[in-house]
Amino acid sequence: MPGLIRGVARTAVVAGTATAVSNRVTRRQQGRWAAQQGYEAPPARPAYQAEPPAAAAAPDMTSKIDQLKQLGELKSQGVLTEAEFEEQKRTILGA
């Protein structure tokens, strides 16, 4: 167990050091480029923003009509009761 903890700690130190060095190099490069004439700083990266959820595509009316026809057929065959038919119809129509 101590070997595992030591290994995890070493990995954390290496990763932290690599990040610090990378940030330092980036700042140095930006400073050098800023000293050059005509240099424009690249736009800052915005913080992570989740993309807005894609709008759910509303089914078109023809698919709703087809679903209602199928429900009507199931009701006429006796597969669905009147209450089940009405419930499913409300679900399809979104009311």
Averaged pLDDT score across all residues of the chain: 76
pLDDT of residue 35: 77
Quick check: 62 pLDDT over 80?
yes
> For 62, which DSSP code?
H
| CA distance linking residue 90 with residue 92, whole number of Å | 6
- Among 74, 61, 62, 56, CA closest to 87: 74
In this predicted model, what pLDDT tens digit does every residue of 13-43 receive, in sequence order? 777 787 877 888 888 888 887 777 666 666 6
Q: CA 87, 91, 92, 94 torsion: positive or negative? A: positive
Rounded (to 5) percent helix, strand, coil in the chain: 65, 0, 35
pLDDT of residue 21: 78
